[in-house]
Amino acid sequence: MADRILVAYATRYGSTAEVAEAIGEELRKTGVAVDVRPVNDLEDLSPYRAAIIGSPIYMGKWLPESQVFIERNQQILRTIPVAYFAVGLTVADGGAEILRKAEASMDQVRMLVNPVDTGIFPGKLESDRLSLTDRTIIKLIRAKAGDLRNWEAVRAWAQAVREKIAPA
């Protein structure tokens, strides 16, 4: 019987992985068995009764590996509760238009599997770790450097979404 919750993620520089870990830890506090894994490391979803899937937002979209994972596994994902989360540098300001665009980053995956909930969180920017291409993009969008993640918001969302994906 499927009795675990999956927190799957794609990440480019590690910020989204750390958010996924925080979500997993918060869920474990309630006694739920949770696996936190990169989307590229997953083959069999049969052990899971629910899934939370996340990606950073790059150029207004999720990373391709998250989208491919959902597309490849949409048949099983449609049979269990699924929630999505996105991590983006521009969402720290929290303006309505910015949040609308962040929500739109999930449109492609929503068409494949409709989530029971979504979370959007600010990310972390360490410009010295970025590729030349990503540094150029960061300059164009004028993203703020530093760790903008709000861990209280991440934990609160994890607690709220648990009731939707795996009620006790």
Each residue's pLDDT tens digit, 98-117: 888 888 899 999 999 999 99
- Count Cα neighbours of 124 within 13 Å in the Cβ-side half-sphere: 16
CB of 3 closer than 8 Å to CB of 33: yes
CB of 102 closer than 8 Å to CB of 95: no
Look at residue 143 and tell me whether its pLDDT is greater than 90: no
Distances in Å between the Cα of 22 and the Cα atoms of 19, 50, 122, 156 are: 5, 17, 14, 11
pLDDT at 92: 75
Look at residue 87 and tell me whether its pLDDT is greater than 90: yes
Q: Which residues are paired to 124 by β-bridges?
A: 147
Crossing angle (nearest 10°) for helices 15-28 and 151-165: 50
Closest CA to 24 of 12, 13, 14, 37: 37
Closest CA to 80 of 38, 42, 41, 113: 113
Average pLDDT, the chain: 88
Look at residue 58 and tell me whether its pLDDT is greater than 90: no
Give the helix/strand (H/E) hosting 7.
strand 4-9
pLDDT at 130: 57
Return d(Cα 73, Cα 78) in angstroms, integer. Answer: 9
Would you kindly state where each structural domain of the chain is located, as residue ranges?
4-165
The DSSP symbol for 168 reads -
Q: Which one is predicted more confidently, 56 or 60?
A: 56
Architecture of domain 4-165: 3-Layer(aba) Sandwich (3.40)
pLDDT at 135: 58
pLDDT at 70: 97
Q: Which one is predicted more confidently, 139 or 1?
A: 139
Question: What average pLDDT does the segment 59-68 reach?
Answer: 91
Q: What is the pTM of this model?
A: 0.88
Residue 7: pLDDT band (50, 70, 90) is very high
